[in-house]
Structure 1
Amino acid sequence: MYSTSLLRMAARAQPGTFFRANGVRNITPRSSNALYAVPAMMIASSGSTSSAFSTSIRMRSDAHEETFEEFTARYEKEFDSVQDVFELQRNLNNAFAYDLVPSISVLVAALKAARRVNDFPTAVRIFEGIKAKVENRGQYDQYLEELKPLREELGIPLKEDLYPEEK
């Protein structure tokens, strides 16, 4: 609606309404219908002190740096309480968004949650996420070795096994 209001004001305005000769924007609209021209003025004139939208984030004063152990415990608990695919994928996106690779216990909880909600594609994608987060192939192989028994138990193949690359 805001862009439509500006279009209406531009169509109705006289030349020079938007810009003065010195290039400074004219703040007060000269249109006959000022309510359509500047919706922000309606908010300011309504007497409310707070805006409906904010451009800044409120910071909590009691926020502290989370340790890796706290991160691990929090995400294990999150994955243990997952009840649907949306929660699983949201938690995975949040866990992989940090500048670290989740621990084995978090990945085990995520894989079990994927099995619990019967989401095969997400289980395969967990291993793709690990591959993208680690620094080198050796680290990825260590994760695969550690998770191999669970992967075999749950029947989760790797993307490399499903789609071998042709050379």
Structure 2
Amino acid sequence: MNPSQPLTIEIVSDVVCPWCFIGLRRLDLALEAVRRRHPDIRCIKRWRPFFLNPSVSPEGEPYLPHLVKKFGGPERVQAAFQHVRDAGAAYGLDYRFEDIKVLVNTFQAHRLIHWAQQSGDAQILVERLLIGQFQRGENLGDKAVLANIAVECG
């Protein structure tokens, strides 16, 4: 590795994807291991949008009914939730799916990430959005919620 050149990582994700939260934790742990061996390595993360639910209207729709239809029943949804909870627990993540009321269109959240990235690292914002979605049940399709998160992240 050439320490004079930063390691650029393109991250394609959506803030409503529970596996993306786990993936981010795993990536950060891997980068910590690399930095222990190569402390001069610089890393740049570039966030790219992925729309997990592109057909959802800007207003969103009820979360659980959408997932019941998508997964084929409430039992399957609960099994999927438990699978994610178990996987996330290994990385210190506490998923609270029961607090999520709205399946959101993430277009505005991706715009906010893009804006934050223009002035530096968007990681703090992305992490806060993931926490908002999966641990606080915040409506990430609501511009006022996004504005408050942006202010909170600086």
TM-score (norm 2): 0.25
Q: Which has the higher contact order (CA 8 A, sep 6+)?
A: 2
Larger relative strand fraction: 2
Query: Greater Rg, structure 1 or structure 2?
Result: 1
More helix by share: 1
| TM-score, with length taken from structure 1 | 0.24
